[in-house]
Structure 1
C-alpha cells in the first residue's frame, strides 16, 4: 500500500536530487551535499523558513533619460506611468530573481498557488502595481493558510480586474468570477450528474455566490485600502452595489443560507461566511491535495494513492484548518514521495515529471552557476536585455511557457489538462525552444549570461574524475539526471569528449590545460565540454525530475 510514513533511511544522492528539484527552484551541488545523509524529515523542515526577499522591489531602467526606477513605491498614481506591459515583465523578472536565489519551499508553493488562483499578467490583470500586489499576496501565504488566501484573493485588485468581479453589481450580476472560484480555484466541479449539477456545486450556487461577491470593487490608487494582515493594497466594498438579500445555496452545500449584510463593513463578514462554507466541504480539501500531489509527485493518481495518500492528506489539511505546511511536509518526507513504499517498478515517482521551462531554466542556471547581470547595479541589462529579451522572449515563449501569463484562467495545461498534464510542455512547437537555452548561453557574445564549462568542471568535479572521461560523465550525470545511466549512454556522451579517439585523448587534453592554464589549452577542452554539456542538458534524462 502507498504510505505516508516518514522515510526511514537517510537521503542518498538519488533521493536528495529528487527532493531538491521538487521542492525548490535552486538546484546546486553544494545543497545536494548538504542533503545527503540527512533524514527526509530534517531536510524538508530545513526548507520551510519564511525567507525574506533578496531583491526588495522591481526597478524600471527606462526611459533612458529619466528612469521610472522604483515606480511601485512611488506616491504617483499607478496610471501616470507609461510602459505597463514592460513593467509587468520586469515584475516577473523581480519574482524570478527572488525565487531562484532561495533554497526554500516558499517560492515553489507560491507558484503552486499561482496555478490555483490564476491571473494572467498581460490579459486583464490591469496596471503593473496590481500584478506586483498579486504576486506578493501569493508569497505572503505560500507557507501559510490556503483558506485565508482564498479569502484575500477575492479583494486582490488584479483578480478583481482579471475576472470582472469589479463589474459585478446587484442589478447587473456578473458570474464570471464566482464560476471560476468554484470550478477552478477551490472545490472544483466533480462529475456532472444532471443539468447544471456538477456534484460539488450547481448553477444555483454560482448565481448565489455571484450575489455574495457583488459590490466588491477595484481600488485604483492603491492607497485607499490596505489589508491589515498583509499590508497590501486591496479592493473596497461598495454597499450600494451589493445584493443585501439572503443567499440560499443548493443541497451540495446542505442548503446553507448566508445572511445578506447591509453595510460595507459587514459585507466582509458575508464573504467570510461564503468562503467558510466552501472550505467546510471535504471535497475542497481533497481537491487541493490532489493538486499538490500532481505538482510535487506525479500527474497520475492511482486508486491506491487516492485512498492511502490523498484522503489522509485531506484530513491533515482539515485538522490544521487548511494550513498548507503540515500537508506538504508530510508528503515530501514520506515513503511514497521517494517511491520507497512498494517494490512496483512501474509506479516510480523519481523522474516522473517533465520539467516546466521555469524549472529547466532554474536548474541550468543554479547548477552551472551561470553569471548574469546584477539587478541592483546593472538594471538595464538585467531587466530588459537578460530577462525580458533573452529569457522571456528567447526561451520561455518558444518553450511554451508565457511566464505568469497563461492563455486561460485554467492556467498552464501542464497542471490541469488531462491526460497529458506535464507532457503538455513537449510539442513539435516547443521542443526546439527547450533545446536552445544552454546553446544560446554558450554561443552568444553579449551581456545576457555566461557559462564557463571549464570552470564548472574545475570547481565542481573531483580532480581525478575530471581527467577520466568515463568518471567525468558519471559525475556529471549523477548531478544532472534523476537516475543513473547505463554503459551505452555513457559511451554516447563520451563521444562529445573524444570523438573517434581513445579515452587518453581527453585525459591528455585536460591535464595539459591543468598544467598550463593557457588560453589555447582552455579553448581545446572548452570546445569539448561545451558540446558535452549541451548534449547532457538536451538529453531526455535531463528533461525529467
Structure 2
C-alpha cells in the first residue's frame, strides 16, 4: 500500500511531531510511525532518549593550568606565537565538539534529548571565556544530561558549572565587593523573567552568591572566606542566605514555572507572544502542572506532544527552523555526510547560529529574527550546495570574534557530501510516477503543494530521466521552496 497517498493526514501529523520533537524524519521513519498510534510514537521518542553518551574531544583532567600558561612565558614575556598556536588548537577542538553534537542531532536516535538540549543551550546561553575546552565540554554535557530531567537540577548544575560562573563573573563576586551580574541573569533570564523581582532582590541575592567559585580543574567550590555571612532580605524573607537558598526561593515561586513553560511553548508550539486569552489559559495550565510535578521536564513535554491542540492547523508551519535545526534536519532526512568539517560550521556562521557562540547571555532571539535578505537566499540555495555540489558564492557573517574566525576559517568553494539516496528512494518504491511529487512533498513540507508549485516542480523533469534522477531533482527542488524553512 502506498501510505503516502492513502493516509496523507496521518503522515503530515507524524512529520510535524518529528520536526518539533526532533530534527525531522526519513520517509521510512514516517511510514513506520504512521502505522502506530500517536501516543505510542511520542512514548518512543522518550524511550529512544533514555540513554546518553557524553560528547568528548578532550579528557576531563586535561585542563588549562597555570603551569601550562607559564610554559608560554619566555624572558618574562608572553610568547605570542605559542599563544596563537594554543588559540588555533582550541578553535579546532571547539569545532570538533560542535560537529560531534551536530552529528548526534542528525543521527535521529535520541533526537528529543538533543532537541531539548539545544533549547536549553539558548536558555542558559553561555560562552566560555578563553575557550577553556574542559569547561565547554562539561557545559554541553550538563545540558544534555539534564535536558529531560528536573529543571531544578539543571538550573543548579549549570549555575554551579565553571562556564557560567566564569561567563557571569561570579568568580569575582566577593563579600564587601559584590558583583551583581550572576544574580541578575539568574532571575531575569533563567527563572523569573524581567519585571518579577526588584533591584534590592538582586543586590541581596548577589551577596548570597558570594563564595560560589570554581577550581582551575573546573570543580565547583564554596569559598567561605569570600562569602558574605550577614543577613539578607530577598523576596521579603530575611536570613543568612547562601546561593542554594536563593535557588530554592526561585523554584518556590510559581512565576518560574510560568516563565519556563511560556518559553518552551514558544519554542516547540508556536513562535510569538503567548498573551492571547486562549493560549494564556493553556500555558497557565501547563505551568501549573510543571510546578506541581516539581519541574519534571519530560512530563511537561509529553503533555504538550500528546495534546490535541498541539496538532492544530494554526500551529503547522508556524515555526521557522533555526540554522542548526535546518542543517541537522537536512542531514537526517537524506543521510547526508560531509567529506570535510568546515562547510557545516560555515553554514552555521552564515545563517547566524554557531553552536557555543550565542550572541549574548539572552541567547538567540529566534523566530523571524532568523530571516533577513542575505540569510534567506542562502537558506534557499543550501539544498543545491549540499545535494548538487553547486559553487558557494556567499560569505559567512563576520562576528568580529577571533575564535569564531579561526573556527570556520576555511570556507570551501563546494560542499562535498555523501548522500544515502538508496534508503530515501526505497521509501517510494510503491509510489507511481504520477504520485511521486506529492508523495515526496508530504514528507518534507508542512503544507500540501499548490497546483502552481506542482507544475513548476514537474517542469524540471525530463522524459528520459531515470526514476532515481527524478527523485533527486524533485527532492532538491522541494527543499528549495520557502515552505521547507518552516515546521
TM-score after normalising by structure 1? 0.75
Matched, 1:95 2:101: yes
Distance 1:350 1:29 in 2: 19
- The equivalent residue for 2:329 is 363
Q: Secondary structure at the match of 2:417?
A: coil
How far 1:103 moved relative to its partner?
4.1
Give the direction of change, closer, same or farther, for the CA distance of 1:155–1:448 in structure 2 (3 Å limit).
farther
Instruction: Give distance in 2, aligned partners of 1:407 and 1:205.
Output: 27
Q: Is contact 2:64–2:132 with CA below 8 Å preserved after alignment?
A: no
Out of 460, 480, 485, the residue aligned to residue 427 of structure 2 is 460
> Residue 244 in 1 paired to residue 244 in 2?
no
Cα distance between partner residues in 2 of 1:10 and 1:464: 13
Equivalent residues of 1:11, 1:35 under 8 A apart? no
2:419 — aligned with what?
Answer: 451
> Does the C-alpha gap of structure 1 residues 486 and 78 become closer, same or farther in structure 2, counting only changes over 3 Å?
farther
For the 8 Å contact 1:166–1:217, the answer to whether it is kept is yes
In structure 2, the residue matched to 1:285 is: 257
In the alignment, what sits opposite 2:348?
396
Structure-1 separation of matches of 2:216 and 2:61: 14
- Give the corresponding residue for 2:51: 52
**Is 1:494 matched up with 2:458?**
yes
Runs of 5+ in structure 2 lacking a partner?
A: 1-6, 69-84, 391-413
Distance 1:279 1:496 in 2: 57
**Secondary structure in structure 2 of the residue aligned to 1:478:** helix
Name the counterpart of 1:156.
161
Structure 2 counterparts to residues 118-157 of structure 1, below 5 A? 118-121=125-128, 124=129, 126-157=131-162
Segment drifting more, 275-284 vs 92-101: 92-101
CA contact (8 A) 1:126 1:158 kept: no
Match of 2:120 in 1: 113
The corresponding residue for 1:295 is 267
TM (normalized to structure 2)? 0.83
Structure 2 residue aligned with 1:409, among 350, 361, 365?
361
RMSD (CA atoms): 2.5
Q: 1:145 to 1:110 in 2, by over 3 A?
A: same
Q: Deviation at 1:327? A: 1.1
Aligned to 2:41: 43
Map 1:316-465 → 2, pairs under 5 A:
316-339=289-312, 348-372=314-338, 385-386=340-341, 389-393=342-346, 395-414=347-366, 422-444=367-389, 448-451=416-419, 455=422, 458-465=425-432
User: Residue 169 in 1 paired to residue 168 in 2?
Assistant: no
Aligned length: 436
1:48/1:105 contact within 8 Å kept: yes
Report how far residue 76 of structure 1 moved.
Answer: 6.1
Q: Distance in 1 between matches of 2:200 and 2:279?
A: 29
Tell me: CA distance 1:76–1:111, structure 2 relative to 1, closer, same or farther (3 Å).
Answer: closer
Q: 1:479 aligned to 2:486?
A: no
The whole-number CA distance in structure 2 between the counterparts of 1:542 and 1:447 is 20
